[in-house]
Amino acid sequence: MGSRAQQAEAVVLRSLRFGEADRILHLFTKELGRVGAIAKGARKTRSRFGARLEPFSHVEIQLHVGRGELATVTGVDLVRSHQALAADPYRLAVGSIGLEAVLKLFIDHDPSPRAFHALVRFLDLLDDGGQPDPSGPDPALDPLALSLQLKLLWLAGYLPHLSSCAACGREGPLTAFSARAGGAVCAACGEGALPASAAAFLGMRALLEQPLAGARPAGLGASARRETLAIVEAVYAEHGGFRLRTLARR
């Protein structure tokens, strides 16, 4: 592959100090999927990139994509900084879950424009403030965070099967979740699986089918949200072999 210039719409997932003045970025772009990039001189006070490469920033970025693993940032225009969300600890924690889920679920140079749009919509809603979360102080149980993660699992091809028993096909009642079987299971197939209520399965389907903006008004109960989170984490472990640090922090 020769080197080339590439214009991309991107969200900054992670920004790490590198050397004297540079930054290494993990970007999620609409055009290329996840991309690693270096912004040379980004930490100099008079950098031409200014403060536009902070995590959560939605940018139009110019990249030089070469043979190496890292692209080089040659220019950046800010679309929206999302710094209102970053200034509030609760919304910062919810937003960080979204960024890490994207970082772990999608691989380099495998674009998913729908996942990109979902991430931008999620950050815009968080940045706007929106309805206060009725559930209390645990960001991991925030319905918006759960809704984004379920949609990302679907877009990444890990959609759990929720409408009938994933092991035997019976319609129900569904009483547990088996990440290995790939979804909800009935009592007969549920040995060793994660117990889960009908309310949790209904809630997960609603979060998957509704737009992100509907996640909070949907008012999923606290116990159904805890079950949903346990299921999402089980799918990460089974299919991705990872845990999210932002969820483990609790």
CA distances 139 to 68, 98, 145, 178, 193, Å, are: 37, 11, 8, 25, 26
Site string (63-102) toward Zn ion, x via CB under 5 A: ----------------------------------------
Nearest residue (CB) to Zn ion, 5 versus 188: 188
**Nearest to Zn ion of 27, 167 (CB atom):** 167
Q: Is omega for the bond preceding 173 within 30 degrees of 0, making it cis?
A: yes
CA dihedral 16, 9, 235, 165 (to 10 degrees): 170
Output the smallest distance, CB 118 to Zn ion, in A: 31
Q: How many residues sit in the footprint of Zn ion (CB under 5 A)?
A: 6
Least CB distance to Zn ion at residue 248 (A): 31
- 128-187 residues near Zn ion, rule: CB under 5 A: 165, 167-168, 170, 186
Q: How far is the CB of 43 from Zn ion (least distance, A)?
A: 56
Residue 33 DSSP SS3: strand
Residue ranges that bind Zn ion, judged by CB under 5 A: 165, 167-168, 170, 186, 189
